Amino acid sequence: MHIHILGVCGTFMGGLAVLAKAAGHTVTGCDANVYPPMSTQLEAQGIKLIEGFGTEQLGLQPDLYVIGNVVSRGNPLMEEILNRGLPYTSGPQWIGEHILQGKWVLAVAGTHGKTTTSSMLTWILEDAGYDPGFLIGGVPMNFGISARLSGTGKESSFFVIEADEYDTAFFDKRSKFVHYRAKTAILNNLEYDHADIFPDLAAIETQFHHLVRTVPGVGRVIANAREASLQRVIKRGCWSEAEWFGTSGQDGWAMTTHDDDTFDVFFHGEKQGTVNWTLTGEHNRMNALAAIAAARHVGVLPAQAIASLGRFENVKRRMELRGVVNDIAVYDDFAHHPTAIATTVAGLRKKVGKSRILAVLEPRSNTMKLGTMKEALPGSLLDADLVFGYGASGKDALGWDLAEVLVPLGDKGCAFNDLNALVAAIAKSARPGDQILVMSNGGFSGVHQKILDVLAQ
């Protein structure tokens, strides 16, 4: 089959392209912005890329057009596909029908931690010899790639997928994860997000319950016991076995923390082992509990999973150290929701003690641009010593005043709309021993390297 992917350079659609190519399909694609690193990764797989959405691409005559959710009505290529009645489908639906069919699907859903938990789970299965396929919205350092059909052995029956609650396509407003038909489903947490498509938390809870409805009776739902929202989701009805993690009693999965690098794992009150690793933060320990529980469902003993986590190398852009200059460290992190920002800063604080943390934030998600959670920003940054906010100018500008929002932080908070001015201010403030934590869900115009370069001068 020849498929032509509209919006191929997104993380999910790019992963889909790699999987489709590995499955033997002819794959071409187009996007508005075709540039490295995704362009080079795809071209290295023999996938032809086209810049823009010109109607001349109809001349490729693919068997099917696969539509990414960046494509909307008014897109010239999409309009012509519709006018001519040509076959098309969404990315999640294509994955569900052509890659996941017949697999034991382990889907990881949640407002936060999907990429990290998916990576942990995939590594546990890999380390145990399961050779899983996977599609993850980041690059696990244990693998160096974000998607593969299966491991080096014979084709695996297991597939781990990061299960996003964002909508599927302009013609399918269900969450992506309803297409995956998970047999093992992790519900990692659930807060209000994606204000551009969901009016309130209750609307997202409904989507999560749609996911629960798709899990078969022989399947298992693994949910965060600390989330009232997930308690409500499960109370709506659950037709599978349910296990809870993060419990405080004798039921489900619990933990006891010795220090930030070591914690004991318990299941129904019985100790399963001790995780020794380099990750920081309570959120990562919760992610680990979920991954251990999910791996157990497919047959990996908790002791094996615990040992595997000791060899887990995290994910790129999750507290990733980008460089050290003059004893000043620069980290990169994907945090962009206030809860994720707070837990990321808290995790670094526990790691570095009294060293100064300079938090650098780009609030660029759709939810942030709408200003839905702007009032929560100052509180999420209280544990930082200095805060540098960046709101891009032009078409990507925020619809609200970032400087005004950061006023509660007093003298330790400042905002910029010029990248060079931002970098100069950070470099001027930094001193040996400082930890510079850059947080954004985008590329942030390569600000990490720019900071390192100026510090080196």
CATH code: domain of residue 400: 3.90.190.20
The amino acid at residue 254 is A
Among 364, 360, 419, CA closest to 389:
360
pLDDT at 371 over 80: no
Residue 113 sits in the same domain as residue 209: yes
> Which tens digits make up the pLDDT trace of 33-43?
876 667 777 88
Residue 280 sits in the same domain as residue 355: no
User: Strands 386-390 and 270-276, how do they pair?
Assistant: unpaired
Assign residue 26 the CATH number of its domain: 3.40.50.720
Give the pLDDT score at 154: 61
Do the domain assignments include residue 296?
yes
Distance CA 247, CA 266 (A): 10
Residue 154 sits in the same domain as residue 302: yes
Residue 137 sits in the same domain as residue 156: yes
Residue 301 sits in the same domain as residue 221: yes
Do the domain assignments include residue 95?
no
Give the pLDDT score at 394: 58
Residue 349 sits in the same domain as residue 270: no
Supply the DSSP string of 329-395, one letter for each residue.
Answer: EEEEE---SHHHHHHHHHHHHHHHTTS-EEEEE---SHHHHTTTTGGGHHHHTTTSSEEEEE---GG
> Which tens digits make up the pLDDT trace of 259-282?
778 999 999 999 999 999 988 888
Residue 357 sits in the same domain as residue 294: no
Do the domain assignments include residue 38?
yes
Residue 302 sits in the same domain as residue 407: no
pLDDT at 395 over 70: no
56: exposed, middle or buried (Cβ count in 10 Å: 0-12, 13-18, 19+): exposed
Do the domain assignments include residue 314?
no
Do the domain assignments include residue 341?
yes
Which residues neighbour 400 within 8 Å (Cβ) at sequence distance 6 or greater? 371, 374
Residue 262 sits in the same domain as residue 369: no
pLDDT at 50 over 90: yes
Last-in-domain residue among 90, 117, 148: 90
Assign residue 230 the CATH number of its domain: 3.40.1190.10
Q: Which residue has the tokens 């680990």?
A: 288
User: Tokens representing 191?
Assistant: 């807060």
User: Tokens representing 227?
Assistant: 């989330």
Last-in-domain residue among 309, 334, 364: 309
Give the pLDDT score at 393: 61
pLDDT at 2 over 70: yes
Among 166, 196, 186, CA closest to 92:
166
Do the domain assignments include residue 268?
yes
Do the domain assignments include residue 203?
yes
> Which tens digits make up the pLDDT trace of 344-364?
898 889 888 899 999 999 987
Among 138, 218, 155, CA closest to 181:
218
Mean pLDDT, all residues of the chain: 91
In the structure, what pLDDT confidence band is assigned to residue 291 with cuts at 50, 70 and 90?
A: very high
pTM, full prediction? 0.79
Q: Over range 205-214, report the average pLDDT.
A: 96
pLDDT at 66 over 60: yes
Give the pLDDT score at 142: 85
Between residues 447 and 335, the one the model is more confident about: 447
- The count of domains in the chain is 3
Determine if residue 110 is left, alpha or beta; phi over 0 gives left, psi from -120 to 50 gives alpha, anything else beta: left
Domain span at 49: 2-90
Asked if 292 contacts 306 with a C-beta cutoff of 8 angstroms, the reply is yes
Give the pLDDT score at 420: 92
Give the pLDDT score at 298: 97
Do the domain assignments include residue 315?
no
Q: Which residue has the tokens 């100790």?
A: 271
pLDDT at 253 over 60: yes
Residue 299 sits in the same domain as residue 158: yes
User: Tokens representing 350?
Assistant: 């526990």
Which residues neighbour 207 within 8 Å (Cβ) at sequence distance 6 or greater? 165, 174, 175, 177, 178, 198
Residue 106 sits in the same domain as residue 85: no
Give the distance, in angstroms, between the CA of residue 224 and the centroid of all CA atoms in the same chain. 17
Q: Over range 247-255, report the average pLDDT.
A: 89
Lowest mean pLDDT among 90-99, 117-126, 223-232, 396-405: 396-405
Question: What percent of the chain has pLDDT above 70?
Answer: 97
Give the pLDDT score at 318: 74
Distance CA 32, CA 40 (A): 15
Give the pLDDT score at 191: 87
Distance CA 449, CA 216 (A): 47
Give the pLDDT score at 261: 83
Give the pLDDT score at 365: 75
Q: Over range 362-389, report the average pLDDT.
A: 85
Residue 47 sits in the same domain as residue 158: no
pLDDT at 369 over 60: yes
Last-in-domain residue among 309, 329, 350: 309
pLDDT at 153 over 60: no
Q: Which residue has the tokens 């790639």?
A: 145
